[in-house]
Structure 1
């Protein structure tokens, strides 16, 4: 080592003898160590170690008021990890053993020769550096392992590793969900060949065995399966698992759901244009809209009133190549037949009494775009015939005109009626029905959209609280529970109106049960998701049940207390008592309860 080279290390010398302390510091400084500090006492040593880090501590075993052993114990309790070399003028076996037990690097007897001191310091610092490097490497490996595990868990593809016996060693969360749908017994520690209940997957396990034996990769192995009743296509890649020996220790399988590859956004989005829904039923509707929207064909939307058929028509238009052209909407049930014909096809001046000028019909207004015919099940048979001809030919004659008009229009129709039943009873043309039924989208009722009520309720709350400039920030848990239990015969439209009403009535920051309409508060109607009969209230029991005995007194007291708490609101009082509202009414009549608020 050249004299001007500095060793990047920090050393602390602890000795109460000034001459020895200064000698050690001089030796180490001249040897090129970058920082050498020397202190004389137990307290100074603790202060130095607490304030700064060191690569080596050289400590005399005999200090003024403490022993070096005490100092070594204190170093370890403080978490000091650097090596400590003990110096003593009175070497004893017991002391040396104790020092080593406490983690001393070495134990040197006085007088300490310069070369011995420097050699010991060099070895101690080298070992300390090796230990630190190993700890840093272990820490980096642990961080990398956690990073890989996080990545492994978060990947949407299903990843599975198996050993040579096809025993599953590891799988990520996506694989766990996939295998639960395929074969619930398939877990870590289970065998991949349990998939052989399906002949297609038997071929997959054979491919995995070939990969393990031959070490060659199999890519894009595509299989169909039906986990939830719908067809899904999986692309499966199988790669040998190389542990560095050159012989595959197993295989890695990556399953990718190709049924979802063409979706614009990742699976599980809760909005599509103006539609909102996270339930599986609505996710299927979203997928249908995205796929059908791009295909320029007639679409029939079915579903109960209030489910959002108009919003589906809007989404189909936005997903189509016609999105920059007009979307013209016609409510077929809102006008009589003679007006509907003129409204759709237009008319020439003088075509009928009151036709004082030419009128462009909705069909022509929608040229190049989309025509939405709502409630098409309510149009007359004559109108059905005219509409059928238009759908087949894409041409029509305005009322009172003999000049044919050709248009380029996509037709989307909707109905809450059962058109198949109408065809059966002769009120709807069979040929028009099948002309409309090229492809259909069925909107599920809100009661079948698990989890969507809360999502929609909060959406409508934000809309109406903002529109009314009210600081309403949420819905109470009890009110939300009632929303989620209710069957919503009017579907999303009814939920929207209930939230709008609650926002009007709410004067605070939270919508509560007092702001809900009676049909939602009522615990006995068909409006409940769980229509099981509610049991008779658990009134306090008394033997014999005298006509005006203990039971009636206690029941009456409970009813009066609940009514007072509810401010006289019988629906709310029934909920407080945990009984059906009709049962509460009966009890009030039986006990002749009159509440004077």
Structure 2
């Protein structure tokens, strides 16, 4: 028989006969066969640290630690675990107080057993639905159907959906696609989606061209024939030929040397290339998809990128927004990476408090989605029990140099009469302290100043 629920139901009562009796009732009348019994309230919190549970049923009146105090502790440390409070006394004010404190439900022990069993099953089903909803929100793009190519991209952002619509529209085209965006925004995932939309049955070949000199670039992309240079004892098939009728993805295209840019331009214009050491022209039907995290137009103005190559590459162009412009995606990505890391590290899935989401929203994430993923994995690798610790994330945020883009301030409204610099400084300090929930180290990181400098400002503000 399969255990139900998957994680055990925890029954807490100092009356052991009632524990055994109710456990038997749950098995016989509710099919709930996965139950852990605890008769000492002092053992509850240590037990929860050792073992994940589905739901807790706790008696209100017990020696050592009361059910009311246990309720507060469990709700604080394990907010995703429903707690049902039971008591032998029918007191309305007590019931109301427990519900306000976060209890899932409240029952009188003398009530019919069917009602108690139904209440427990309702809590288990509610918890199951909540977890399923979290998983779906993490992995589903939108409620409306979208192409399966976008399934690996976790988002609920309208600008991302517009980009998906555009990519679906240009999918049949054979022209290049240029993907722009900061480091860590998921440009490679977009490139893979383009491939799945247009040529899913053909190969996808990815090359990071950053750091390739002209000779290495030619050899990597176009290959060479035997004897082309010293050490070339056999033929090498280049990445362009390996791509065949599929997709060739060139990452970090903005770092390509000018000589290599000329060779790439020939491939795009003529759809042909020469392997190193060969005089026999080869033809290519591969679609070119490129990605960059630099401003190519700026590089053109500085003479470091060819304008004609840029216009060829940017026939179809998209820009992946940074994480700081996708606030709705932060809780989805956080939950997705927590699930992913818990599975990979074989750890119980910790609770994610709303305060953690609020804290992360105050951070600019210069490394974008990749930085969030690395942050979650590192914190979870040191995780032991309870909710994800806020202090660990605060420490990581405060250790990272503050980064805010200039364009985020361009549309900031100002009153007709500008405030003084001193007033603005006080407003910024107050806002940073609010976002950091009073933590000076985090607030200092948000402001780009030292903690000592922030402390001095706060003392001046208090004295004035």
Instruction: Name the residue aligned to 2:319.
Output: 442
Match of 2:182 among 300, 304, 309: 304
Q: CA deviation at 1:524?
A: 9.8
Match of 1:339 in 2: 216
Equivalent position of 1:266 in the other structure = 144
| SS of alignment partner, residue 514 of structure 1 | helix
What is the SS of the residue equivalent to 1:447? Answer: helix
Shift in CA distance, 398/280, structure 1 to aligned 2, threshold 3 Å = same
Task: Tell me the TM-score normalized by structure 1.
Answer: 0.45
**Contact 1:472–1:509 at 8 Å: present in 2 too?**
no
CA contact (8 A) 1:292 1:316 kept: no
User: What corresponds to 1:423 in structure 2?
Assistant: 300
Matched, 1:480 2:342: no
Cα distance in 2 between the residues matched to 1:292 and 1:265: 23
Matched, 1:452 2:347: no
Q: 1:345 to 1:526 in 2, by over 3 A?
A: closer
Structure 1 stretches of 4+ with a deviation exceeding 3 A read 267-271, 521-532, 535-538, 569-575, 579-590
SS in 2 for 1:341: helix
- For 2:329 and 2:319, locate their aligned partners in 1 and report how far apart those are by CA, in whole Å: 17
**Deviation (angstroms), 1:376:** 0.8
CA pair 572-368 structure 1, distance change in 2 beyond 3 A: closer
Deviations 1:327-379 (A, max 9, x none): 00000104333212100010112212222211000000000100000111111
Partners of 1:432 and 1:536 in 2: how far apart? 46
Structure 1 Cα separation of the partners of residues 243 and 165 of structure 2: 26
Encode CA deviations 1:93-129: one digit per residue, 9 max, x unaligned. xxxxxxxxxxxxxxxxxxxxxxxxxxxxxxxxxxxxx
Greater share of helix: 2
Cα distance change of structure 1 residues 582 and 381 upon mapping to structure 2, 3 Å threshold = same
Distance 1:360 1:509, change over 3 A: farther
Distance 1:445 1:470 in 2: 30
Equivalent residue number for residue 428 of structure 2: 533
Q: Does residue 1:280 correspond to 2:155, yes or no?
A: no
In the aligned structure 2, how far is the partner of 1:292 from the partner of 1:416? Answer: 22
Counterpart in the other structure of 2:340: 463
Residue 236 of structure 2: SS of its match in structure 1?
coil
Is it true that 1:379 corresponds to 2:379 in the alignment? no
Aligned to 1:398: 275
Q: Distance in 1 between matches of 2:382 and 2:455?
A: 26
Instruction: Give the alignment partner of residue 289 of structure 2, picking from 388, 405, 412.
Output: 412
Paired with 1:311 and 1:449, the residues of 2 have a C-alpha distance of: 17
Deviation sequence 1:513-549 (CA, Å, 0-9, x none): 12216352479944699996214999xxxxxxxxxxx
Counterpart-to-counterpart distance in 1, 2:177 and 2:344: 34
Matches of 1:468 and 1:366 in 2, distance apart?
35
The change in CA–CA distance for 1:371 and 1:441 in structure 2 (over 3 A counts) is same
Kindly tell me: are residues 505 and 588 of structure 1, through their superposed partners in 2, closer, same or farther at Cα, counting changes over 3 Å? farther
Question: Could you say if the C-alpha distance between residues 490 and 407 of structure 1 is closer, same or farther in structure 2, counting changes exceeding 3 Å?
Answer: same
* Greater strand proportion: 1
Q: 1:206 corresponds to which residue?
A: none
Residue 270 (structure 1) shift = 11
Counterpart Cα distance in 2 of 1:313 and 1:298: 11
Aligned pairs, how many?
A: 296
In the TM superposition, what are the counterparts of 1:194-593 in structure 2 within 5 Å?
Answer: 266=144, 272-320=150-198, 322-516=199-393, 518-521=395-398, 525-526=402-403, 533-535=428-430, 571=441, 581-582=451-452, 586=456
Segment of structure 1 superposing worse, 465-474 or 350-359: 350-359
Assess, with a 3 A threshold, how the Cα gap between structure 1 residues 526 and 360 changes in structure 2: closer, same or farther.
closer
For the 8 Å contact 1:506–1:515, the answer to whether it is kept is no
Report if aligned partners of 1:523, 1:581 keep a CA contact under 8 Å in 2: no
What secondary structure does 1:516 align onto? helix
Measure the CA separation in 2 of the matches of 1:457 and 1:328: 30
Q: Call closer, same or farther: CA 1:341–1:574 in 2, change over 3 Å.
A: closer
Structure 2, unaligned stretches of length 5 or more?
1-140, 410-424
Alpha carbons 2:174, 2:287 under 8 Å: kept: yes
**CA contact under 8 A between 2:149 and 2:196: conserved in structure 1?**
no
In the alignment, the residues of structure 2 paired with residue 349 and residue 523 of structure 1 have an alpha-carbon distance, to the nearest angstrom, of 50
**CA deviations over 1:424-459 (Å, ceiling 9, x no partner):** 221111111111111101111111113111111111
Q: Distance in 2 between matches of 1:498 and 1:573?
A: 19
Three-state SS of the structure 1 residue aligned to 2:379 is: helix
Q: Distance in 2 between matches of 1:500 and 1:589?
A: 37
> TM-score if structure 2 supplies the norm length?
0.57
Quote the residue 2:47 is aligned against. Answer: none
* 1:13-92 matched pairs, under 5 angstroms: none
Deviation at 1:584, TM superposition (A): 6.3
CA distance in 1, matches of 2:181, 2:432: 39
8 Å Cα contact 1:486/1:527 also seen in 2 = no
Q: Which runs of 5+ in 1 are unaligned?
A: 1-262, 539-561, 591-597
SS of 1:294's equivalent in the other structure is coil
Q: Cα 1:309–1:519, aligned 2, differ >3 Å: closer, same or farther?
A: same
CA distance in 2, matches of 1:454, 1:536: 22
**Structure 1 contact 522–581 (Cα < 8 Å) conserved:** no
Call closer, same or farther: CA 1:353–1:454 in 2, change over 3 Å: same
Deviation of 1:306 (Å): 1.0
**Shift in Å, 1:469:** 0.4
Residue 481 to residue 350, structure 1, CA distance change in 2 (3 Å): same
**Residues 453 and 462 from structure 1, CA distance in 2 versus in 1: closer, same or farther, beyond 3 angstroms?**
same
Q: CA RMSD in A?
A: 3.6
